[in-house]
Amino acid sequence: MINFQDSEGGIAITDNEEYASMIKIMGLHGMSKDAWKRFSDSGYKHYQVLYAGYKYNMMDLQAAIGIHQLPRVDKYWQRRQEIWERYN
């Protein structure tokens, strides 16, 4: 199963549950998953900063192009592997 994480126009895909979890945390500036719920009707909820995270934003246009490229991911990945092997 491929996990699909869409965050503010950015896309990451993986078939590894551990990687998917890490991507979600890093996309929240390294904050725990509870960070999404820190301000709610039931009051403030504490969260933990687990890692030094990142905030990479993409424009919607870039995301649209990325979605269009998804069917070609395997083909592009194979080509990158060929180039990598040649450099090695």
Short-list 54, 4, 10, CA closest to 29: 54
* Mean pLDDT, residues 29-56 taken together: 69
Record the pTM. Answer: 0.48
The per-residue pLDDT for 78 is 94
Which tokens is 88 given? 């090695």
For residue 7, pLDDT over 60 is answered with no
Q: What's the start-to-end Cα distance of the chain, in Å?
A: 31
Q: What 3-state DSSP class applies to 10?
A: strand
Between CA 47 and CA 21 the distance in angstroms is 16
pLDDT in tens, 53-83: 666 667 778 878 888 888 998 899 899 999 9
The per-residue pLDDT for 1 is 45
Contacts of 75 (CB under 8 A, 6+ apart): none
Domain residue spans of the chain: 3-87
